[in-house]
Amino acid sequence: RLGLYRIVLLYMGLQAGFLILQAVTFATVLLAATYFFTSTAAAADFSVLLIFWMISLMLIGGSRFFVKVLLQGLIQNFRPKEPIIIYGAGSSGMQLVVALQNGDQYLPVAFVDDGHRMIGSSVHGIRVYSPNSLYELIETYSVRQILLAIPSATHAERKEILNRLEHLPVHVKTVPDLFDMVSGKVGVDEIRDIDIEDLLGRDIVPPDPQLLGACITGQAVMVTGAGGSIGSELCRQIVTINPSRLIILDAFEYGLYAIEAELREKLKSIEGGENISVVALLGSVCNRALMENAIKTFNVETVYHVAAYKQVPMVEKNIIEGAQNNIFGTLTSARASEDFGVKNFVLISTDKAVRPTNFMGATKRFAEQVLQAMAQRASRTRFSMVRFGNVLGSSGSVVPLFRRQISTGGPITVTHPEVTRYFMTVQEAAQLVIQAGSMAKGGDVFVLDMNEPIRIVDLAKKMVHLMGYDVKDENAYRGDIAIEYTGLRPGEKLYEELLIGESVTGTEHPKIMRAEEDFLVWEELQDLLNRLQLACREMNLAEIREILLEAVDGFEPKEEISDPLWNIQSKEYAAGAGNSGAASIEEGESATVTRLFRE
C-alpha cells in the first residue's frame, strides 16, 4: 500500500511526486512481468511498456498536480493573500517560501538577496532581486511586509541590513534564529517581530568552558533573587553546567514557583539532569537565620547575589526598604557566606552605582563597598562584583513598553530627547557574570564591555520604522506614531557611566574588565552601617540621606526626599505644630522630623 489516495492534493510537494513515480514504476514492472510470461518472443513489443509508464505518470501525477494548481488559484481568488518579500534566498528562505505557499495568509512575490550569484535566478518560481530593487518591488506589488530569512547571519550583519530597510514603508519581521530551529523549538514559518538585539548589532563572544565551570560544575550553587529576569537566566545557564545542587531563593512567590517549574522541566532534557537537585527557598535575603541555615544545610560553595530593588523611581519613594534590601540584604548574605565557608560570592551590581544621582544607585554602591571592605580583611570567601548596564527584556525594560505603545497606536513616551543607555541581552549578561566570578581574586570590581551607549529616542524611532509606521513630529504631521517627552524621572540621569575612576585593566576575557576603585575600610564602614541601621529602624530618612552622602563618593541626589510616608507625615506634623502655637518647622530641617518618627 503506497498511500496514493492518502495524499492531500492541496499540499502535494516533491515527496508526493516521488511517491507517484514509485507507484507507476512498480505497476509498470508488474505489467512487464505479466507481458513477458504471456507473450511469445515474436509478438512481444516492449515499447508498449515505456508508453504505458509515460501515460500513467502523466495521468496519475499530472492530474493531481493540475488539481493542486487549480485549488491554489481558487483559494487565492476567493481568499486573497498578503504579498510579501523574502530577504534571503538561502535554505531558510526556500523552506519559508514553501511553507507560505501552502498557507493561506502570505503570498511571496519576490526574493531579495545580497549574493550576486543568486540575483536573476528563480527559486520555487519566484525571482531573486538585488536589495537595490526593494523600493520598486514594494511599489509594484503593494508590499507591506518584508520577512528576513537569514537566521545564520551575525547580529552585526543583521543590523546592517535593518539599517537599509529602516526607511522603507514596510513592517520588517524575521524567522527564528538558527539555534531555535535546529533544536526543534520553533519552525521556520514561525514569523515574529525583529529582536532588539538585531538593532544593537552586538555579537556574543563564545564563552570559555573553563571559566563557565570553575565555580559551578560539581558544586552547590545558590542564586538569590532567582525569580527575577537576571536571576532566572542565571539559573537556566547554571543547570546546563552540571552543578551538584542549585538553591534558588526569592521573596517573590510566583517568580520562584515559575522558575522552579521551568528548571525541573529543563533538567529532563539535560544529560545527567537527574543528578542535579533544585531546591526552592521562599524568603528574604535580610533574614539572617534563613541565609545561615540555607548555606550551612546545603553546603553552598558559590553564591550569585542578584536580589535587589532596582527600579529607580520606586526606590526613590521607598528609601528605607531600598536600603534594607540592597545594603543589609547584601551584608547579611555576605556574612553568612563568610561564616559558613562559601568559596565564591558574586554581587550583581549596576552602572547606576557610579556617581549616583538616586538612592537606588547609592545603595548599590554602598553594597559594593561592603564586599570590598570584607575582602580586605583576608576573608576565606572570594568576594567580587559585576557591574553592567540595562538588560534587554528584563522587568521594566523600555523595549516591551515601546512595542506595546506602537501596537496601540502610540504615543511612545521617552523621558528626554538626549537620554542614553547601555544595553546588553540577558543571556549575554548572565554568561559574562558566571565567567567574571571565576576570575575573582577577592574584592574585584568587574565591568562588562557594553559597547557604545544608545540614544533611547533613536531606539524608539527604529522600532517605529521597522514595524511599518512613520514617526509623527513637527517635520511629518502625517506620521503614524508620535513621540512624547515626559521629563526625567526622580533620580534619573541623562547618561550612565560604568567606571568611577580611570584605573581599569583587561582580563583573560575580551568583554570583561577589572576596575581598581577606592573604597572605605571596614572600620569606617562598620560605623556607617550601625548608624544606617538605627536610622532605618527609626524611619529617619534625612539621616539615611546624610549617611549615603558620607559613604558614597559622588552621590548627588537631584531631588528632595520623595518618600510619600515621610512627606505626608512631615506636613501633618508641621501643620499640627503651627496650630498649637509651636515653633514652625523650617524647610529641610531634619531634627524635628526625626523626633516625629521617634515619638
Q: Mind telling me the catalytic residues?
A: 352
Grid coordinates representing 585 are 518647622
Residues 6+ apart with CB under 8 A from 200: 155, 159, 392, 423, 451, 454
| Cβ-based burial of 512 (10 A; exposed 0-12, middle 13-18, buried ≥19) | buried
Long-range CB contacts (within 8 A, 24+) of 454-458: 454/200, 454/420, 454/421, 454/422, 454/423, 455/418, 455/419, 455/420, 456/398, 456/414, 456/415, 456/419, 456/420, 456/421, 457/414, 457/417, 457/419, 457/483
* Rounded Cα–Cα distance for residues 171 and 168 (Å): 9
Q: Which residues contact 434 (CB under 8 A, 6 or more apart)?
A: 211, 212, 215, 216, 234, 237, 238, 241, 304
The strands making up 171-174's β-sheet, listed across from edge to edge, are 122-123, 126-129, 106-112, 82-87, 145-148, 171-174, 192-193
Distances (CA, A) of 9 to 19, 95, 408: 13, 19, 41
Nine cell digits for residue 399: 523595549
20-to-11, 14, 23, 32, 444 alpha-carbon distances in Å: 14, 10, 5, 18, 69
Report the candidate in 510, 354, 335 with the shortest Cα–Cα distance to residue 422.
Answer: 354
CB 195: neighbour CB atoms within 10 A?
Answer: 17
Residue 296 amino acid letter: K
**Best CA proximity match to 496, nearest among 462, 447, 568, 531:** 447
Distance, in Å, from the CA atom of 350 to the CA atom of 250, rounded to the nearest integer, reads 19
| DSSP track, 568-581 | HHHHHHHHHHHHTT
According to DSSP, residue 326 is labeled I
Of 308, 313, 321, the closest CA to residue 348 belongs to 308
Asked if residue 466 lies in contact with residue 161, where contact means CB atoms within 8 angstroms, the answer is no
- Strand 382-387 and strand 344-348: the pairing is parallel
Contact 92, 175 (CB under 8 A): yes
Contact 392, 425 (CB under 8 A): yes
